[in-house]
A and B are shown apart, each in its own frame.
Chain A
């Protein structure tokens, strides 16, 4: 079967660092994407990890461990505009992407 686990809610202070963990179980795993979605908006792509290790894109980094079926998204220097839902999304090949329930991040002053 398929399963995805990530925390439902996280609260962090502006300027701080937050890590959103994701564990997954899926058949035909190719890689792990992360998407951000603001309330009322469309999901937007943040990162994709196909190989083990850390990928860094500005303030955001994403990590994957294929052997542990685990990944995380690290957000640094949090800004108020980072308040949104974050989805880890394993790919079963060619963008057959599965989304979990997401983590609602609230950044507070």
Chain B
């Protein structure tokens, strides 16, 4: 167990809706990264937050947005959901040191109908 918790674990939305996924980082970790993992694929980097500021972004449109709070918990928001957004969304917390381990939560599985 990594100490990283995500909620909800599963959810179903319809196309066009909005979703908020939450992540509670491991204690003491100041960096959180969000990944999208489609079935049979590797995790794809969405963005990273360090001390409440976005600190890097992958190839995802602006309708994917995030927040990191002073207690280092985090949210991923996705607007105008599309069918292709169906995936496992993984949150990973870490320290801001090179080579540091990413500690992943168990993910939120989103299905868009």
Q: B98 near A44 (CB under 8 angstroms)?
A: no
Asked if B45 contacts A98 (CB within 8 A), the reply is: yes
Stretch at the interface among A13-21, A71-79, A89-97: A89-97
CB distance from A51 to the nearest CB of B (A): 10
Instruction: Return chain A residues, CB-CB under 8 Å to B44.
Output: 99
Tell me if B24 is interfacial: C-beta within 8 Å of chain A. Answer: no
Interface centre among A44, A45, A93 (most CB of B within 10 A): A45
B104: contacting residue among A33, A44, A91, CB under 8 A: A44
For B73, the chain A residues whose CB sits under 8 A away are: none
Encoded as 1 (CB less than 8 Å from any A CB) or 0, chain B from 75 to 109 comes to 00000000000000010101011111111111100
In the bound complex, what is the Cα–Cα distance between A78 and B42 (angstroms)?
Answer: 23
Chain B CB within 8 A of A63 CB: no
Q: Is the CB of B104 within 8 A of A94?
A: no
Please, how many angstroms separate the alpha-carbon atoms of A100 and B7 in the complex?
Answer: 25
Give the complex CA separation of A33 and B56 in angstroms.
18
Q: Is A31 a contact partner of B98 (Cβ separation < 8 A)? A: yes
Distance, CA A81 to CA B105, complexed state (A): 20
Residues of A7-54 contacting chain B, CB below 8 A: 30-31, 33, 35, 41-45, 48, 50
- Using a CB–CB cutoff of 8 Å, the interface residues on chain B facing chain A are 2, 31, 33, 35, 40-45, 48, 50, 55-56, 90, 92, 94, 96-107
- Residue numbers of A with Cβ under 8 A of B are 30-31, 33, 35, 41-45, 48, 50, 87, 91-102
Additional A-B contact list (10), CB under 8 Å, known A30-B99, A91-B98: A43-B90, A43-B102, A44-B104, A45-B101, A50-B98, A87-B43, A92-B56, A94-B97, A99-B43, A100-B42
